[in-house]
Protein backbone atom coordinates (compact mmCIF):
# COMPACT_ATOMS: atom_id res chain seq x y z
CA UNK A 1 0.00 0.00 0.00
CA UNK A 2 1.16 3.55 -0.74
CA UNK A 3 0.13 6.30 1.68
CA UNK A 4 0.77 10.04 1.45
CA UNK A 5 0.70 12.46 4.39
CA UNK A 6 0.39 16.24 4.36
CA UNK A 7 2.57 17.78 7.05
CA UNK A 8 4.87 16.14 9.54
CA UNK A 9 3.37 16.58 13.00
CA UNK A 10 3.57 13.91 15.68
CA UNK A 11 0.40 12.16 14.53
CA UNK A 12 1.68 11.91 10.98
CA UNK A 13 5.04 10.56 12.10
CA UNK A 14 3.53 7.99 14.48
CA UNK A 15 1.22 6.68 11.76
CA UNK A 16 3.94 6.73 9.12
CA UNK A 17 6.27 4.78 11.40
CA UNK A 18 3.70 2.02 11.89
CA UNK A 19 3.02 1.79 8.16
CA UNK A 20 6.72 1.60 7.36
CA UNK A 21 7.16 -1.17 9.93
CA UNK A 22 4.50 -3.15 8.05
CA UNK A 23 6.30 -2.68 4.75
CA UNK A 24 4.08 0.00 3.23
CA UNK A 25 5.35 2.89 1.12
CA UNK A 26 5.06 6.33 2.74
CA UNK A 27 5.23 9.78 1.15
CA UNK A 28 5.39 12.89 3.36
CA UNK A 29 4.50 16.28 1.89
CA UNK A 30 6.26 19.02 3.84
CA UNK A 31 6.78 22.72 3.08
CA UNK A 32 9.89 23.10 5.29
CA UNK A 33 13.03 21.91 3.47
CA UNK A 34 15.05 21.74 6.69
CA UNK A 35 12.35 19.55 8.22
CA UNK A 36 12.56 17.19 5.24
CA UNK A 37 16.34 16.95 5.64
CA UNK A 38 15.88 16.07 9.31
CA UNK A 39 13.17 13.48 8.75
CA UNK A 40 14.94 11.81 5.82
CA UNK A 41 17.60 10.65 8.27
CA UNK A 42 14.99 9.04 10.51
CA UNK A 43 12.41 7.64 8.09
CA UNK A 44 12.79 5.44 5.05
CA UNK A 45 10.09 7.43 3.28
CA UNK A 46 9.69 9.55 0.18
CA UNK A 47 9.29 13.30 0.50
CA UNK A 48 7.60 16.02 -1.55
CA UNK A 49 8.63 19.60 -0.85
CA UNK A 50 5.79 22.12 -0.91
CA UNK A 51 2.43 23.20 0.45
CA UNK A 52 0.17 20.13 0.57
CA UNK A 53 -2.97 22.20 0.00
CA UNK A 54 -1.78 23.22 -3.50
CA UNK A 55 -2.89 21.04 -6.43
CA UNK A 56 0.50 21.14 -8.17
CA UNK A 57 2.22 19.88 -5.04
CA UNK A 58 -0.32 17.12 -4.48
CA UNK A 59 0.14 15.99 -8.08
CA UNK A 60 3.83 15.43 -7.29
CA UNK A 61 2.69 12.80 -4.78
CA UNK A 62 1.26 10.77 -7.70
CA UNK A 63 -2.42 10.45 -6.74
CA UNK A 64 -2.97 7.76 -9.39
CA UNK A 65 -0.44 5.51 -7.62
CA UNK A 66 -1.46 6.30 -4.04
CA UNK A 67 -4.00 4.35 -2.00
CA UNK A 68 -4.74 6.97 0.62
CA UNK A 69 -4.01 10.64 1.35
CA UNK A 70 -3.91 11.51 5.07
CA UNK A 71 -4.59 15.16 5.93
CA UNK A 72 -3.60 15.32 9.59
CA UNK A 73 -2.69 18.97 10.08
CA UNK A 74 -3.83 21.01 13.07
CA UNK A 75 -6.46 23.07 11.23
CA UNK A 76 -9.79 21.36 10.50
CA UNK A 77 -10.50 23.78 7.68
CA UNK A 78 -7.13 23.12 6.07
CA UNK A 79 -7.58 19.37 6.32
CA UNK A 80 -11.03 19.53 4.73
CA UNK A 81 -9.74 21.76 1.92
CA UNK A 82 -6.77 19.47 1.29
CA UNK A 83 -9.07 16.45 1.32
CA UNK A 84 -11.38 17.98 -1.28
CA UNK A 85 -8.47 18.95 -3.51
CA UNK A 86 -6.93 15.51 -3.10
CA UNK A 87 -10.18 13.81 -4.03
CA UNK A 88 -10.55 16.00 -7.13
CA UNK A 89 -7.02 15.03 -8.21
CA UNK A 90 -7.84 11.35 -8.08
CA UNK A 91 -6.53 10.04 -4.76
CA UNK A 92 -8.38 6.77 -4.21
CA UNK A 93 -9.17 7.72 -0.63
CA UNK A 94 -8.69 10.82 1.51
CA UNK A 95 -8.70 10.85 5.32
CA UNK A 96 -8.89 14.32 6.89
CA UNK A 97 -8.37 14.89 10.59
CA UNK A 98 -11.31 16.86 12.03
CA UNK A 99 -11.62 17.68 15.73
CA UNK A 100 -14.56 20.09 15.87
CA UNK A 101 -17.93 18.25 15.62
CA UNK A 102 -19.41 21.01 13.45
CA UNK A 103 -16.65 20.47 10.89
CA UNK A 104 -17.13 16.71 11.17
CA UNK A 105 -20.71 17.16 9.97
CA UNK A 106 -19.57 19.47 7.18
CA UNK A 107 -16.94 16.94 6.10
CA UNK A 108 -19.62 14.25 5.91
CA UNK A 109 -21.91 16.53 3.89
CA UNK A 110 -19.03 17.15 1.47
CA UNK A 111 -18.55 13.42 1.03
CA UNK A 112 -15.40 13.15 3.16
CA UNK A 113 -16.82 10.22 5.08
CA UNK A 114 -13.45 8.85 6.17
CA UNK A 115 -12.70 11.86 8.40
CA UNK A 116 -11.32 10.97 11.82
CA UNK A 117 -11.59 12.64 15.24
CA UNK A 118 -8.49 11.48 17.16
CA UNK A 119 -8.87 13.95 20.02
CA UNK A 120 -12.38 12.69 20.75
CA UNK A 121 -11.23 9.07 20.58
CA UNK A 122 -8.39 9.70 23.05
CA UNK A 123 -10.71 11.65 25.35
CA UNK A 124 -13.21 8.79 25.40
CA UNK A 125 -10.42 6.35 26.25
CA UNK A 126 -9.16 8.55 29.10
CA UNK A 127 -12.70 8.91 30.43
CA UNK A 128 -12.97 5.11 30.59
CA UNK A 129 -9.65 4.89 32.43
CA UNK A 130 -10.76 7.54 34.93
CA UNK A 131 -13.97 5.65 35.66
CA UNK A 132 -12.02 2.45 36.26
CA UNK A 133 -13.51 0.72 33.22
CA UNK A 134 -11.40 -1.77 31.32
CA UNK A 135 -10.92 -0.39 27.83
CA UNK A 136 -10.32 -2.88 25.03
CA UNK A 137 -9.11 -2.14 21.54
CA UNK A 138 -11.76 -3.17 19.03
CA UNK A 139 -9.25 -5.36 17.20
CA UNK A 140 -8.85 -7.46 20.36
CA UNK A 141 -12.53 -8.41 20.55
CA UNK A 142 -13.42 -8.70 16.84
CA UNK A 143 -11.71 -11.87 15.66
CA UNK A 144 -11.78 -14.55 13.01
CA UNK A 145 -14.24 -13.94 10.17
CA UNK A 146 -15.90 -11.00 11.90
CA UNK A 147 -15.52 -7.47 10.57
CA UNK A 148 -16.89 -4.03 11.38
CA UNK A 149 -18.43 -1.91 8.60
CA UNK A 150 -19.62 1.68 9.04
CA UNK A 151 -21.70 3.88 6.77
CA UNK A 152 -23.32 7.28 6.86
CA UNK A 153 -27.02 6.99 6.11
CA UNK A 154 -28.32 8.83 3.06
CA UNK A 155 -31.92 9.61 2.16
CA UNK A 156 -32.12 6.08 0.74
CA UNK A 157 -31.45 4.48 4.13
CA UNK A 158 -34.04 6.54 6.03
CA UNK A 159 -36.70 4.49 7.79
CA UNK A 160 -37.04 1.65 10.30
CA UNK A 161 -33.77 -0.06 11.22
CA UNK A 162 -35.39 -3.45 10.58
CA UNK A 163 -36.01 -2.49 6.95
CA UNK A 164 -32.37 -1.67 6.23
CA UNK A 165 -31.30 -3.81 3.28
CA UNK A 166 -28.51 -5.95 4.77
CA UNK A 167 -26.96 -9.23 3.60
CA UNK A 168 -26.95 -12.40 5.70
CA UNK A 169 -24.88 -12.48 8.90
CA UNK A 170 -24.95 -8.69 9.15
CA UNK A 171 -26.53 -6.74 12.00
CA UNK A 172 -26.66 -3.16 13.27
CA UNK A 173 -24.52 -2.80 16.40
CA UNK A 174 -25.21 0.86 17.16
CA UNK A 175 -25.52 4.25 15.54
CA UNK A 176 -24.31 7.77 16.19
CA UNK A 177 -26.60 10.76 15.74
CA UNK A 178 -25.32 14.28 16.40
CA UNK A 179 -22.34 12.75 18.19
CA UNK A 180 -24.64 10.77 20.51
CA UNK A 181 -24.40 6.98 20.81
CA UNK A 182 -27.57 4.86 20.51
CA UNK A 183 -28.33 1.16 20.55
CA UNK A 184 -30.78 -0.16 17.92
CA UNK A 185 -33.53 -0.67 20.49
CA UNK A 186 -33.21 2.95 21.61
CA UNK A 187 -33.58 4.48 18.14
CA UNK A 188 -35.69 2.33 15.84
CA UNK A 189 -35.70 4.73 12.90
CA UNK A 190 -32.71 5.78 10.82
CA UNK A 191 -32.30 9.41 9.78
CA UNK A 192 -30.12 10.78 6.99
CA UNK A 193 -26.68 11.59 8.41
CA UNK A 194 -26.71 8.86 11.06
CA UNK A 195 -23.48 6.88 11.27
CA UNK A 196 -24.46 3.21 11.37
CA UNK A 197 -22.06 0.59 12.73
CA UNK A 198 -22.55 -2.95 11.43
CA UNK A 199 -21.00 -6.26 12.41
CA UNK A 200 -20.66 -8.72 9.56
CA UNK A 201 -18.42 -11.43 8.11
CA UNK A 202 -15.62 -11.00 5.62
CA UNK A 203 -17.69 -12.83 3.01
CA UNK A 204 -20.35 -10.11 3.09
CA UNK A 205 -18.06 -7.09 2.75
CA UNK A 206 -18.25 -6.95 -1.04
CA UNK A 207 -22.06 -6.98 -0.88
CA UNK A 208 -22.02 -4.15 1.65
CA UNK A 209 -19.61 -2.14 -0.50
CA UNK A 210 -21.88 -2.55 -3.51
CA UNK A 211 -25.02 -1.82 -1.53
CA UNK A 212 -23.70 1.32 0.15
CA UNK A 213 -20.95 2.23 -2.33
CA UNK A 214 -18.34 2.36 0.39
CA UNK A 215 -14.68 1.47 0.28
CA UNK A 216 -13.65 -1.70 2.06
CA UNK A 217 -10.38 -0.09 3.04
CA UNK A 218 -12.24 2.78 4.63
CA UNK A 219 -15.08 1.16 6.44
CA UNK A 220 -13.90 -2.16 7.80
CA UNK A 221 -11.83 -2.96 10.84
CA UNK A 222 -10.72 -6.55 11.04
CA UNK A 223 -8.88 -8.57 13.60
CA UNK A 224 -6.04 -10.82 12.62
pLDDT tens column, 63-84? 999 999 999 988 999 999 999 9
> Which CATH number belongs to the domain containing residue 145 in this structure?
3.30.70.1450
Confidence of residue 49 (pLDDT cuts 50, 70, 90): very high
Q: Give the structural domain span for 147.
A: 138-222
Lowest mean pLDDT among 6-10, 100-104, 198-202: 100-104
**Do 178 and 217 share a structural domain?**
yes
Name which residue leads in pLDDT, 121 or 151.
151
Specify the 3-state DSSP secondary structure of 119. helix
| Domain total of the chain | 2
For 26, other C-beta atoms within 10 Å of its C-beta total 23
DSSP state of 193: T
Task: Quote the percentage of the chain above a pLDDT of 70.
Answer: 83
**Do 102 and 151 share a structural domain?**
no
**pLDDT at residue 141, rounded to an integer:** 52
Residue 198 domain-assigned (yes or no) = yes
CB 46 within 8 A of CB 28: yes
**pLDDT at residue 220, rounded to an integer:** 40
Computed over every residue of the chain, the mean pLDDT equals 83
Read off the pLDDT of each residue in 187-206 and give the average, rounded to a whole number. Answer: 87
Read off the pLDDT of each residue in 135-147 and give the average, rounded to a whole number. Answer: 59
Residue 10 domain-assigned (yes or no) = yes
Final residue in a domain of this structure, among 59, 91, 122 = 122
Residue 107 domain-assigned (yes or no) = yes
**pLDDT at residue 94, rounded to an integer:** 94
Number of helices (H), then strands (E), in the chain = 9, 12
**Do 117 and 10 share a structural domain?**
yes
Residue 62 domain-assigned (yes or no) = yes
Sheet holding 146-152, edge to edge: 180-182, 171-177, 195-201, 146-152, 220-222
Per-residue model confidence as pLDDT tens digits over 110-136? 888 888 877 666 666 555 566 655 555
**pLDDT at residue 130, rounded to an integer:** 61
Confidence of residue 6 (pLDDT cuts 50, 70, 90): very high
> Which CATH number belongs to the domain containing residue 117 in this structure?
3.40.50.720
- CA–CA–CA angle 156, 118, 27 (5° rounding): 95
Distance set, CA 18 to CA 11, 12, 26, 59, 215 (Å): 11, 10, 10, 25, 22
**Do 161 and 102 share a structural domain?**
no
Give the contacts of 167 (CB within 8 A, at least 6 positions apart): 200, 204, 207, 208, 211
Distance set, CA 140 to CA 15, 136, 151 (Å): 19, 7, 22
Amino acid sequence: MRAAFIGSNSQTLSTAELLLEDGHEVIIIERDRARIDELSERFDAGFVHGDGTLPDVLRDAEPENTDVLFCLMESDQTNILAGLIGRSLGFARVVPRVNDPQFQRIAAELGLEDSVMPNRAVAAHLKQLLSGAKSLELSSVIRGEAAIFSLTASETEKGPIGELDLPDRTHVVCLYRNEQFYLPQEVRTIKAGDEIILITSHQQLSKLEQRFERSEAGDQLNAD
